[in-house]
């Protein structure tokens, strides 16, 4: 457990962001232990480790935990709907879909995250067979990663499904645009994209103050710039709450409210020229 460490007094950004993957795993472990669970991640408890459970308990509310539960299910459903034979998980963290999800035989799953995060997961799950053709790709997503994905076998001309789950809020605005530009360039028509975002006001959200950097109030417009037709949900909306997210969000027109968005999008046309 040495390679993804929790926040200490002097914790810097580069340590906290990978550790956040363990906190996500802790929340998926909690959800998995419920009788009315929205999914079952049998590996999450091992990957999270005790410190991550402590941090979740100290810093996050039950609704924060419900958010991660509904987000996981929302994107599981998107993957099932997409029927894509190649799937790219950007900033996959300790997501175990490559080991737990019932992929169609032969599905290629590409996972990109920092080297220490992927090696930690692979080491702890070394005796667990993936349920897909698994391609872990160590990469910094703010640097060039397109070539690594292509070298690993990704086919840009074939339909794909992408998940960008719990990442964009940690990036600078120009990094978000660069990332979406590459995703768009590599996605053929009818490909699917699942992504979550916070709004601009959410950047200051208490437990993550100083760590969140990017928020977007109108994800539909942002994604349309890159050729994606998006459907945007708040976690309390029908179609996203799964009976688990119970705190009601106000309508999106209401100003000055922190928000999170769950987005599913499909590639329709060429991106606008930047």
For 99: left if phi > 0, alpha if psi spans -120 to 50, otherwise beta; the answer is alpha
What minimum distance in Å lies between the beta carbon of 20 and ligand SAM? 4
What minimum distance in Å lies between the beta carbon of 146 and ligand SAM? 13
Query: Structure tokens of 65?
Result: 């935990």
Q: Which is nearer to ligand SAM, 108 or 113 (CB)?
A: 113
Does 142 engage in binding with ligand SAM (CB under 6 A)?
yes
**Interface with ligand SAM (CB under 6 A), residue from 31, 41, 76, 95:** 95
Token pair 């994604």 in the structure block, residue: 223
Return the range that interacts with ligand SAM (CB under 6 A); candidates 80-88, 89-97, 182-190, 252-260. Answer: 89-97
- CA-to-CA distance for 128 and 78, rounded, in angstroms? 25
Query: Structure tokens of 83?
Result: 């029927």
Q: Which is nearer to ligand SAM, 89 or 232 (CB)?
A: 89
Does 56 engage in binding with ligand SAM (CB under 6 A)?
no
**Interface with ligand SAM (CB under 6 A), residue from 92, 96, 107, 234:** 92
Q: Which is nearer to ligand SAM, 92 or 266 (CB)?
A: 92
* DSSP H/E element including 231: strand 228-233
How many Cβ atoms are within 10 Å of 153's Cβ, its own excluded?
A: 11
Q: Are strands 86-90 and 108-113 parallel, antiparallel or unpaired?
A: parallel
For ligand SAM, the nearest residue by Cβ is 93
Q: Which is nearer to ligand SAM, 60 or 227 (CB)?
A: 60
Nearest CA-CA partner of 260 in 243, 241, 244: 241
Token pair 């799950």 in the structure block, residue: 125
Interface residues with ligand SAM (CB under 6 A)? 17-18, 20-21, 24, 91-95, 113-114, 117, 140-142, 165-167, 170
């Amino acid at each position: 457990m040495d390679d993804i460490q929790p926040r200490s007094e002097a914790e810097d950004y580069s340590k906290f962001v990978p550790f956040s993957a363990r906190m996500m795993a802790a929340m998926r472990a909690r959800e998995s232990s419920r009788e009315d669970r929205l999914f079952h991640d049998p590996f999450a408890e091992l990957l999270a480790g005790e410190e991550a459970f402590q941090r979740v308990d100290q810093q996050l509310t039950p609704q924060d935990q419900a958010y991660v539960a509904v987000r996981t299910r929302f994107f599981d459903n998107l993957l099932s709907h997409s029927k894509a034979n190649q799937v790219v998980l950007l900033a996959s963290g300790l997501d175990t879909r490559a080991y737990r999800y019932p992929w169609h035989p032969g599905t290629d799953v590409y996972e990109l995250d920092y080297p220490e995060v992927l090696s930690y997961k692979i080491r702890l799950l070394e005796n667990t067979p993936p349920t897909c053709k698994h391609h872990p790709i160590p990469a910094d997503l703010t640097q060039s990663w397109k070539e690594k994905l292509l070298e690993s076998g990704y086919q840009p001309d074939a339909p794909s499904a992408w998940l960008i789950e719990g990442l964009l809020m940690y990036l600078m605005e120009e990094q978000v645009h660069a990332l979406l530009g590459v995703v768009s360039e590599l996605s053929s028509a009818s490909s699917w994209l699942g992504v979550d975002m916070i709004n601009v006001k959410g950047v200051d959200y208490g437990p993550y103050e100083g760590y969140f950097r990017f928020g977007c109030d109108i994800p539909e417009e942002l994604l349309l710039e890159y050729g994606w037709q998006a459907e945007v949900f708040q976690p309390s909306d029908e179609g996203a709450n799964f009976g688990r997210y119970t705190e009601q969000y106000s309508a999106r027109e209401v100003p000055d409210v922190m928000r999170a968005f769950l987005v599913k999008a499909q590639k329709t046309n060429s991106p606008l020229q930047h």
